[in-house]
Amino acid sequence: MVKRQFGHRARLVLTPAQVRLADEQAHAARTMWNLLHEWWTVLPRERRSLAAADAAIRQARKEIDWLGVLPAQAAQAVLKTYFQAWKNCWEGRAGEPGFKARCRTVMSVDVPQGRDLNISRVHRRWGMVTIPKLGRVRFRWTKDLPVGKRADQQNRITGARLVKDALGWHVAFRIQTYDSAPEPHAGPEVGIDVGIGVPLALSDGATHDHGEWLTEKERATLLRLERRAACRKACRRRGEKTSRRLRRTYDRIQGLRARAKRRHLDWQHKTTTDIARKYGTVVVEALKITNMTRSAKGTADSPGKNVAQKSGLNRSIHAQAWGRTVEQLAYKTSRQGGTLVKVPAPGTSRRCSVCGSTTPGSRESQAVFVCKNPDCGWAGNADHNASRNVLHLYRMGLTLVPAAGRAVVRRARRVKPATAR
């Protein structure tokens, strides 16, 4: 048996009074974090301890009335998260924790005890959950959860977190299950090349594409709202507070962008699930997206060139979310019994997959590859050519393995025989 811990997010249906109370709890949790951080940084190092922080939180909840709206368990969860943030900093996994600003912090409230949720299914589409100080709340039932007779010590919901985005409040359940270890996947090998014109190109000739995330009417509405926001922002004086009309316009813009992101995420989940079920070994490039999206602005002494074009390319790369696609492929292939392998990225799009030569000028356009080698002359789709090169690197044994915090190239001792591509 294999222990799995994952999350499931569902949409909540709250009344206006419940929405106002959930907002107050989220602001109280953020303020609790800031107070705890100020207490931690001001206090001498020898007096810092978990017990002293717990006592300070209890005293703050008694003396400050509006902090009492936050449940006691949620306040303890803030303390636990804060100490874990410092532990991650000490171990080199993250930077120092800081203050949480109101406008840049995701509003959330933790429910650490899963037994207090009392989840039940009403019918096929809706379920009910008990939220501390909110009561019984409906949520969208889109996944079978280990509740009722299906719940036991091994398969259960260990907690939840309330999260608010531009589309409203959601509940993210923390689920723990024990499943039988999957059998090794006997599917074929495939190389994947990620791109902008073609999001996913596979070495066997298949492609996974998508259209626009917003309809034509929604795109027109988004453009009109962005122009309206720019006009209202230009009329605002320096130092003047943002008007309610401008805030409402920003909220509508965020709602449309959140809807597009949700559709993109749905497409990614469905596509990566299909690939993980079909193929046993998935080979991808080890892309350094941070370096690829670095600004071309340059410095005052040596300004960059084509800055606007590079900015548009960076936005297109970020919009495709290549890193999230690879993360989903990683855990979904392991769940199906397959493997995900990363190979070095340099040269895969400029090398011919038939003769193996890299000749200048072979990449005639974004979609066409014509080998300029006089002995070859092969022509085909550039994305499929790159995906076949990715798969060929794996068959040669050139894979990347983490070692001492950095990626190194490992060449296998036994090279697999080449197959017809």
Residue 264: its pLDDT value, please? 93
Q: How confident is the model at residue 405 (pLDDT cuts 50, 70, 90)?
A: very low
Tell me what the mean pLDDT of segment 53-64 comes to.
Answer: 84
| Residue 300 pLDDT greater than 70, yes or no | no
Q: Which domains does the chain have, with CATH numbers?
A: 1-181 (no CATH), 184-209+261-421 (3.30.420)
Nearest to residue 84, comparing CAs of 75, 73, 93?
93
Residue 410: its pLDDT value, please? 56
Q: How confident is the model at residue 400 (pLDDT cuts 50, 70, 90)?
A: low
Q: How confident is the model at residue 174 (pLDDT cuts 50, 70, 90)?
A: very high
Q: How far apart are CA 115 and CA 109, in angstroms?
A: 17
Q: How far apart are CA 114 and CA 123, in angstroms?
A: 21
Tell me what the mean pLDDT of segment 212-219 comes to.
Answer: 92
Percent of the chain with pLDDT over 70: 94
pLDDT tens track for 343-385: 888 878 888 888 877 777 777 677 788 887 777 877 888 888 8
State the pTM of this model. 0.81
Give the strands of the sheet with 189-194, arranged side by side. 207-208, 200-202, 189-194, 281-285, 339-343
Q: Are 211 and 202 in contact (CB under 8 A)?
A: no
Q: 88 exposed, middle or buried (CB, 10 Å; 0-12, 13-18, 19+)?
A: middle
Tell me what the mean pLDDT of segment 98-121 comes to.
Answer: 88
In which element (H, E) is residue 355 found? none
| Residue 414 pLDDT greater than 50, yes or no | no
Tell me what the mean pLDDT of segment 206-217 comes to.
Answer: 90
Residue 286: its pLDDT value, please? 86
Q: How far apart are CA 301 and CA 78, in angstroms?
A: 47
Tell me what the mean pLDDT of segment 295-303 comes to.
Answer: 72
CA 105 remoteness from chain centre: 16
Residue 413: its pLDDT value, please? 42
DSSP string, 70-102: S-HHHHHHHHHHHHHHHHHHHTTSS-------T
pLDDT mean across residues, the chain: 85
Residue 136: its pLDDT value, please? 92
Tell me what the mean pLDDT of segment 122-145 comes to.
Answer: 90
Percent of the chain with pLDDT over 90: 27
Q: How confident is the model at residue 411 (pLDDT cuts 50, 70, 90)?
A: low
